[in-house]
Structure 1
Amino acid sequence: MFTHKSFEVFDIVGLEARMTAIRSTIQPIFSEIGEKLVGDLQTIFPDEAFYLHIAQHRRRTTHAPENTWSAISTQKRGYKMEAHYQLGIWQDYVFLYLSIIDQPKKQQKYAQCWQELLTTAQLPGDFVLSKDHTKAEFFQLDELPNALERLGKVKKAELEVGKIWPASRFDGQHDEEIEGEIREALRQLSSIYRQLMEVK
């Protein structure tokens, strides 16, 4: 599980030095938890195959990443082309999101599908949303209708919805509890994910 040391990685100066720390400190956690999340999804969706992807940040040549993440999708060769799950970490928090980023071909249809679900899909009150996967800021769910409208109209719009866990909770005393909450958040998003997977 993540520890205070996981968050301190983002204090390290320099691309290579920070990436070395990400690989040794954070990516093994992504692998461990990610495999459990893949197993959970296989149970929920027994007819689908799921693949764990861990961000490598290979396109970076100068600036060290301000966050890092893993993703789970039904595509073996990538994840950004479809709605997918992300488990990631910023300097201040860990997140589990259902994500639509980087202009997938079905973006408008995803937005329409999710808008149709707004009246029936009940999301927990402590869930939040992100409008840009490159920024740490997040918003309350009352902004979801406007964010969905923008997702359907603006090509570069993004949407991520899920739960965050502040860095202060990762004190080594609540690991099992947090892992359970991460897996429960994935399950709570699965009804929406099911509908998004069926978008043609």
Structure 2
Amino acid sequence: MSFSGFEQADFDVFKIDGLDERMDALKSQIRPKLEDLGRHFAPTLSSIAGDEMHYHVAKHARRTKNPPKDTWVAFASNSRGYKMLPHFQIGLWETHVFIWFAVIYEAPEKEAIGKKLEENIHSIYTRIPKDFYWSIDHMKPEARVHSELSKEDLLSMFKRLQTVKKAEILCGLNIPREEAVKLSGEEMLSKIEFVFKEILPLYKLA
């Protein structure tokens, strides 16, 4: 395993102006690390999830104007894509590393998933670590920390997933860049594995 951890230069890629310039830096600076993470965690997730998991590194291929503000590797049980399925993500914004369980707006089973989450609201609310985060939009860096949410807040998110076409739900950990750059490769791998195990029950429900 060649993953060496994240460094300031990885986050600084998102300061580069211009689509081509940022994409070139992203491909050379960050993508090899995402490939490493994909190869490392696909077998781990396959083992704990009970499904064969395939990794997908974001290509940002449809972009013609605006440079990407974040990038990621996703893990799903389909070798051809992940957006239609409940999945896991590891990625970066300029400000932080994110490690998510995610159901995004392309998933056709969102209503059924939202109902299962709603039915298990008590166990979810009590077992998710207090310093984990929830998001309702994977395209924005903002997220809400679990310790500051009421059970009613969480229930509202789960109901929204059932009724709003563009609704999403994500849960996991955000690691500020200042903390992330201090972690060795092994320490980051260990933290990511811990997060995946903590959010695995959400994947199992979905």
TM-score by length of 1: 0.92
Whether the 8 Å CA contact 1:3–1:171 is kept in 2: the answer is: yes
Pairs within 5 Å for 1:164-179:
164-179=174-189
Q: 1:86 Cα deviation (Å)?
A: 0.9
Matched, 1:131 2:136: yes
Judge which range, 91-100 or 141-150, deviates more. Answer: 141-150
Aligned residue in 2 for 1:153: 163
Aligned residue in 2 for 1:64: 67
Aligned pair partner of 1:74 in 74, 77, 80: 77
Pairs within 5 Å for 1:10-159:
10-46=14-50, 48-121=51-124, 122-141=127-146, 142=149, 143-159=153-169
- For 1:129 and 1:120, the matched residues in 2 are separated by 16
Aligned residue in 2 for 1:193: 203
Whether the 8 Å CA contact 1:55–1:70 is kept in 2: the answer is: yes
AA of the residue aligned to 2:168: E
- For 1:180 and 1:130, the matched residues in 2 are separated by 23
Whether the 8 Å CA contact 2:72–2:89 is kept in 1: the answer is: yes
- For 1:184 and 1:35, the matched residues in 2 are separated by 17
- What whole-Å deviation, never above 9, does each CA across 1:14-64 have from its counterpart, x for those lacking one? 001101111111111111122222121122134x21100011111110110
Q: 1:175 Cα deviation (Å)?
A: 3.5
Identity of aligned residues (%): 31
- What whole-Å deviation, never above 9, does each CA across 1:141-181 have from its counterpart, x for those lacking one? 21322211111110111111100110001334543222211
Aligned residue in 2 for 1:184: 194
Judge which range, 1-10 or 33-42, deviates more. Answer: 33-42
- For 2:105 and 2:20, the matched residues in 1 are separated by 25
- For 1:106 and 1:42, the matched residues in 2 are separated by 21
Q: Give me the CA root mean square deviation.
A: 1.3
Structure 2: give runs of 5+ residues left out of the alignment: none
How many residues are treated as equivalent by the alignment?
A: 195
- For 1:70 and 1:37, the matched residues in 2 are separated by 10
- For 2:182 and 2:102, the matched residues in 1 are separated by 28
Find the residue that maps to 1:59 and give its secondary structure.
coil
- For 2:61 and 2:183, the matched residues in 1 are separated by 34
Find the residue that maps to 1:169 and give its secondary structure.
helix
TM-score by length of 2: 0.90
Judge which range, 105-114 or 30-39, deviates more. Answer: 30-39
Find the residue that maps to 2:122 and give its secondary structure.
coil
- For 1:38 and 1:89, the matched residues in 2 are separated by 19
